[in-house]
Amino acid sequence: MLRIKRMDIFILQSFVPLFMMTFCICLFIVLMQFLWRYIDELVGKGLGVDVIGELFFYAALTMIPMALPLAILLASLMTFGNLGEQFELTAMKASGISLLRTMAPLIVLMVCIATGAFFFQNDVLPVAQTKMWTLLYSMRQKSPELEIPEGVFYDQIPGYNLFVQEKNRETGVLYEVMIYDVSKGFENSSIILADSGKMSITPDKTHLFLRLWHGESFENLKDAGAGNMKNVPYRRESFSEKEIMLKFDSNFNRMDEQGMRNQYVGKNMAELQATIDSVGARVDSLGSSYGTALREYPYMGIHAYQTRIDSGKSVKTRRPDVEIAKPVNVDSIMRGSSSGIRIGYLNQGLAKAQRMRQEYEYKSIAMADDLKTMRRHAIELQKKFTLSFACIIFFFIGAPLGAIIRKGGLGTPLVISVFLFIFYYIIDNMGYKLARDGKWEVWEGMWLSAAVLLPMGVFFTYKAVNDSAVFNKDAYLNFFRKFFGVSEVRHVEMKELVMEEIDPVIAVQRMEALKLEVAAYLSRNPARQSYRDYWLHGYDRDELHRLRDTIENDVEYLSNSREKMVVLKLMDFPVLRSLWFQQPSTRPWLSWIMIALFPIGLAVWFYGRKTQLRLRDELSTVTKVADQLIELIAPKIDD
């Protein structure tokens, strides 16, 4: 029977409020990004609050796949950062509760969120995207709100250009009005000039009603004359008052959603797969027909297939290959013809080549469109799964990382979350474009971000569970120092309290034994090793480890001395380094492979010889320091 413990409730109570808060913040941020991107489509259109609110509602639903992973990452970082900062994680570990057990209720919650995200992507998101894009395209088609500027031409009325020198904002009267009517074409344009006028919109908001005073109109009458007349007649009219009606639809007309519903953004998994299968079948059919046409194309006037009558039925069989006794001498054919005929041959050949090129270019464009349609639908199909997987990955990055850094609040977690999400967004967008353009397979491009972030989540989880120092720079410096052979400085300090004084006789004996051990190691490992001996033998690192332990034990023993010169001399002992380059391989098969890879093996051999010579110098220093310590300690034996 599954029992929910008090600790699980505590973890959930710590995470859920933070998750809801960060989700709302992230959704607001991406929604503002949407607003700034399409602000030009909304401003100046006279749209109602209900229409804009509806657009923002569907846009918020559409932005959930982008906000959800970031919210999970930030909330998990803050939750476990707070627990670490308040030493609650330490208390749980001291009680025998592992980090994975602490994360268990949130792992179950993440699985539920990932499952819900999948159904949201499949069932809710297509409807939301259909309605959002339909509303957005409808807003783009809506005419802008009528606001005639002063001193410039206004061209937002289809087919008309309107100029107003000045206008009275209290009475709405326009002064020095000029109207260019090009709705019937530039050659049949008309111009209206008026001293003043007034404009209003009809109650149905489909026409503009203009009342003009004291002006003239000029109209081109080209249609009334002959088509080849050089002098085009026109009509001029003077008026004291004139009323005209201009077509101007300022209503908001919502487009039909069916067109957007048939696009890839408005389909669920079953519909996407059905489209991919149908378009794929058409592509295969076209490819097969194109291949058959190429195989059956007649070359040199000879058809690839011949038809014969067999038992009253027409049978199509492939014609046997035709062998030419000798190559056709094209030059002799051209020389034997007149210049006009030769030019005719060349023109015919060029025209035929151009026709075939245009034909295959058209076929390739048609095929490319179908392939692009398949890729876009396949990308949308993969997105149904990538969001759910991204939620789980971001949790396994954020929770262990919060336990490692032990910083709560919005400061450090927010910086780390933004950095990781930008990295994820760049990788995901790069994979999307590679898949969209057909340079990668669709599944490779869409799962690229998951493939990059999954090892990161595994790494942080492993480090957090084992309490490893991920952000301890000294650990990384020591690793590279050991790998590349950077020497370390030994530090030995005088002890204020010595529990056991050193015995000079034993100390001298230990130094003598150390000298013998160093000499034996140097004799067994020659100063110069050939390329083959280096890869097959190298310097025995196991024996070097034992020698290093002996030196460390001797230093620890002699550090109990009350003589300051002895303690200071101990710091002259080098810290022996066991490097991979000193003995790169202990397996014969691997050694022979590296011997065969001569260019790579030779470079390693050069550097390895350098580390071996440096080791020999350090061992010589050990012998020299041991002699000096014997000289310092030996007089104490006589005393």
Q: For the chain, what are the domain ranges? A: 6-141+379-465, 153-247, 481-638
**Average pLDDT score over residue span 559-581:** 81
Return d(Cα 404, Cα 266) in angstroms, integer.
42
- Cβ distance 490 to 575 under 8 Å? yes
Return phi, psi of residue 154, to 5°.
-110, 120
Q: For residues 81 and 403, what is the distance between their CA atoms, to the nearest angstrom?
A: 6
Return the number of other C-beta atoms located less than 10 Å from residue 294's C-beta. Answer: 10
At 127, which amino acid appears? V
* pLDDT tens-digit series, residues 398-440: 888 888 887 766 667 777 778 888 888 888 889 888 888 888 8
Q: pLDDT tens, 260-271?
A: 777 777 788 888
CB–CB of 560/495 below 8 Å? Answer: yes
CB 182 within 8 A of CB 212: no
pLDDT at 636 over 80: no
Higher pLDDT, 346 or 223: 346
CA dihedral 97, 102, 105, 110 (to 10 degrees): -150
* pLDDT level of residue 301 (50, 70, 90 thresholds): low
Per-residue pLDDT tens over the stretch 512-566: 888 899 888 888 888 888 888 888 888 888 888 888 888 888 888 888 888 888 8
Average pLDDT over residues 185-204: 77
Pick the closest to residue 586 from 545, 531, 535, 630 (CA basis).
Answer: 535
- Per cent of the chain over pLDDT 90 is 1
Burial class (CB in 10 A: 0-12, 13-18, 19+), 353: exposed
Residue 218 tokens read as 């000029």
Q: What is the percent of the chain with per-residue pLDDT over 70, rounded to a whole number?
A: 79
H or E stretch at 326 = none
Average pLDDT of span 296-314: 67
Distance in angstroms (rounded) separating the CA atoms of residues 393 and 457: 6
pLDDT recorded at residue 367: 78
Q: What pLDDT is recorded for position 320?
A: 67
Calculate the average pLDDT of the chain: 79
pLDDT at residue 231, as a whole number: 61
* Torsion angle defined by CA atoms of residues 222, 226, 231 and 233, in that order, rounded to the nearest 10 degrees: -40
Q: Examine the pLDDT at 444 and tell me if it is beyond 50.
A: yes
Is the per-residue pLDDT at 1 higher than 50? no
Q: Return the bridge partners of 164, or none.
A: 177
The phi and psi torsions of 468 (rounded to 5 degrees) equal -80, 155
β-bridge mates for residue 472, sequence order:
none
Q: Which of 4-18, 51-65, 206-220, 225-239 is predicted with the least confidence, judged by mean pLDDT?
A: 225-239
- The whole-number pLDDT of residue 224 equals 45
Residues 6+ apart with CB under 8 A from 422: none
User: 3-state DSSP call for residue 48?
Assistant: coil
Task: Give yes or no for residue 135 having a pLDDT over 50.
Answer: yes
Cα 58 to chain centroid distance, Å, stands at 25
d(CA 369, CA 335): 46
Q: In Å, what is the CA distance from 351 to each residue of 357, 358, 362, 615? A: 10, 11, 16, 79
Asked whether the predicted pLDDT for residue 226 surpasses 50, the reply is no
CA distance 187 to 189: 6
Q: Average of pLDDT values for 332-352?
A: 77
Please state whether beta strands 190-201 and 207-220 pair in parallel, antiparallel, or not at all (unpaired).
antiparallel
The β-bridge relationship of strands 153-154 and 160-167 is antiparallel
Average pLDDT over residues 142-153: 65
DSSP 3-state of 143? coil
List, for residues 471-482, the tens digit of each pLDDT value.
555 555 665 666
Of 433, 421, 424, 422, the C-alpha closest to 379 is 433
DSSP class of residue 251 equals: S
**Type of residue numbered 89:** L
Asked if pLDDT for residue 105 goes beyond 50, the answer is yes
Give the model's pLDDT for residue 187. 66
- Per-residue pLDDT, averaged over 264-285, amounts to 82
Strongest mean pLDDT among 115-119, 167-171, 301-305: 115-119
* Token pair in block for residue 229: 């007349």
CB 158 within 8 A of CB 247: yes
Count CA atoms within 13 Å of residue 172 on its CB side: 9
254 pLDDT band, cuts 50/70/90, is low
In this structure, the number of other CB atoms found within 10 A of the CB of residue 232 comes to 13
pLDDT attached to residue 36: 80
DSSP-derived secondary structure letter, 178: E
C-alpha triplet 345, 349, 352: angle, nearest 5°: 140
pLDDT above 80 (res 615): yes
Q: Which of helix, strand or coil describes residue 306?
A: strand
User: Three-class SS string for 476-509?
Assistant: HHHHHHHHHCCCCCCCCCCCCCCCCCCCHHHHHH
CA-atom Rg of the chain in angstroms: 43
> What are the beta bridge partners of residue 315?
308
What pLDDT is attached to residue 319? 67
Note the pLDDT of residue 142: 57
Predicted pLDDT at 225: 46
Which of 580, 594, 582 has the alpha carbon at shortest distance from 532? 594
Q: How big is the chain, counted in residues?
A: 639
